[in-house]
């Protein structure tokens, strides 16, 4: 009996420079090495039945990537995770799998993505928070975005659900005078994601710096969660796998 699994995987520093297409190929080859009974499409050019939630841009790490895969026969979930991990290169790891009990395509499910953006800037937490709220108070934030028709102006404000400075409890606020390299500041952002209205975190930061005049070095961007929506609430892809 065929069975569809949904699994979550992470991508670490080692493989963060791979493109989405390169990641797809890594999975196909790892699956072939693993010997797991993946189902193939029919026809002249049989393809493995695996679908990824949201492409991951080159340069990002992630704790929360999701994919759906069809297996020819029933396999214990933990066996699936362990077996596939043995064939995955360092830098890609499967964390958990659940059985998918509906036919909803993961690609259509994804509506939101949460990012953790680490930067170096000569600001205090407070100054950064002020900058964020003034940025978010704008009704329109127009940036040039790559669309199907080439570069065109897009208002990204509706695609930003939240943006917060993460105050690390170090017992003191970072010093605005800082040392000359600036302070490490982290931002948490929840952005629209998916087939429509996808806002990339690097584009958000470009717009943020352009509108606020902030000068910062982006050190890293990590995707920390992917969400879908059920009755106006954010749900993880695992939370909607049942019904």
Partner 1 sequence: MRIELNDKILLDVKKPAKYTGNEWNMVRKNPEDVAVRFAFCFPDDYEIGMSHLGMKILYHILNKRDDTYCERAFAPWIDMEDKLRENNIPLYTLETYTPLCEFDIVGFTLQYEMSYSNILNMLDLGKIPVLAKERKEGMPFVIAGGPCTVNPEPLADFFDFFVIGEGEEITNEIIDAYKEWKKAGEKREKFLERVALIEGVYVPSFYDVEYNDDGTIKSITPNRENVPGKVKRRIINNLDTVDFPDEIIVPFVGTVHDRIMLELFRGCIRGCRFCQAGFIYRPVRERSYDNLLDLAKSAVEKTGYEEISLVSLSTSDYSQLPELCNALIEYTEGQKVSLALPSLRLDNFSLGLMDKVSKVRKSGLTFAPEAGTQRLRDVINKGITEEDLLNSVRMAVEGGWNNVKLYFMMGLPTETMEDIDGIADLGIKLIHACRDLPHGKTLNITLSTSCFVPKPFTPFQWEPMDEIDNLMQKQYHLKDRIKKGSRRITYNYHEAKLSMLEAVFARGDRRTGKVLYTAWKKGCKFDGWDEYFEFDKWMEAFEECGIDPKFYANRKRAFTEILPWDHINIGVSKRFLKNECEKAYMGETTENCTANCSFCGVQGYKAGICTRTKRSV
Contacting residues toward partner 1, per CB under 8 A: 14-15, 17-19, 22, 25-26, 28-33, 35, 40, 44-46, 58-59, 87, 89-91, 218-220
CB atoms within 10 A of CB 180: 6
Nearer to partner 1, 28 or 197 (CB): 28
Contact 67, 53 (CB under 8 A): yes
DSSP string covering 4-37: EEEEEEEE-GGGTT--HHHHHHHHHHHHHHHT--
- To partner 1, the closest distance from the beta carbon of 223 in angstroms equals 15
Nearer to partner 1, 28 or 76 (CB): 28
- Torsion over CA: 231, 232, 233, 235 (sign): positive
- To partner 1, the closest distance from the beta carbon of 208 in angstroms equals 17
Q: Indicate the Cα dihedral angle 39, 195, 21, 43, nearest 10°.
A: 30
Nearer to partner 1, 44 or 172 (CB): 44
Nearer to partner 1, 111 or 200 (CB): 200
Nearer to partner 1, 5 or 36 (CB): 36
Crossing angle for the helix pair 20-34 and 77-86, nearest 10 degrees?
Answer: 110
Q: Which residues pair with 147 in a beta bridge?
A: 150
- To partner 1, the closest distance from the beta carbon of 167 in angstroms equals 25
- To partner 1, the closest distance from the beta carbon of 30 in angstroms equals 6
- To partner 1, the closest distance from the beta carbon of 50 in angstroms equals 14
- To partner 1, the closest distance from the beta carbon of 133 in angstroms equals 28
Between CA 223 and CA 215 the distance in angstroms is 22
Nearer to partner 1, 22 or 197 (CB): 22
b/e string for 6-40 if b means 16 or more Cβ within 10 A?
Answer: bbbbbbeeebbebeeeebbebbeebbeebebebbe
- To partner 1, the closest distance from the beta carbon of 135 in angstroms equals 23
Nearer to partner 1, 77 or 218 (CB): 218
Please provide residue 138's backbone torsions phi and psi, each rounded to the nearest 5 degrees.
Answer: -70, 140
């Amino acid at each position: 009996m065929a069975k569809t699994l949904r699994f979550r995987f992470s991508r670490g520093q080692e493989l963060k420079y791979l493109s989405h297409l390169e990641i797809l190929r890594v999975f196909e080859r790892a699956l072939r090495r693993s010997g797991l009974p993946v189902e193939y499409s029919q026809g002249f050019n049989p393809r493995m039945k695996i679908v990824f939630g949201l492409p991951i841009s080159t340069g990002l790490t992630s704790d929360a990537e999701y994919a759906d895969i069809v297996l020819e026969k029933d396999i214990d979930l933990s066996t699936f995770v362990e077996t596939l991990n043995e064939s995955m290169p360092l830098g890609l790891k499967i964390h958990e799998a659940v059985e998918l009990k509906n036919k909803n395509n993961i690609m259509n499910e994804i509506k939101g993505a949460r990012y953790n953006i680490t930067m170096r800037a000569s600001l205090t937490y407070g100054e950064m928070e002020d900058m964020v709220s003034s940025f978010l108070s704008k009704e329109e934030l127009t940036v040039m975005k790559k669309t199907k028709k080439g570069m065109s102006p897009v208002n990204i404000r509706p695609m930003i659900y939240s943006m917060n400075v993460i105050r690390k409890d170090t017992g003191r606020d970072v010093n605005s005078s800082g040392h000359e390299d600036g302070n490490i500041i982290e931002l948490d952002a929840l952005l629209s994601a998916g087939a429509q209205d996808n806002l990339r975190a690097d584009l958000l930061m470009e717009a943020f710096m352009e509108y606020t005049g902030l000068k910062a070095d982006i050190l890293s961007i990590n995707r920390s969660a992917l969400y879908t929506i059920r009755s106006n609430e954010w749900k993880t892809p695992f939370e909607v796998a049942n019904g």
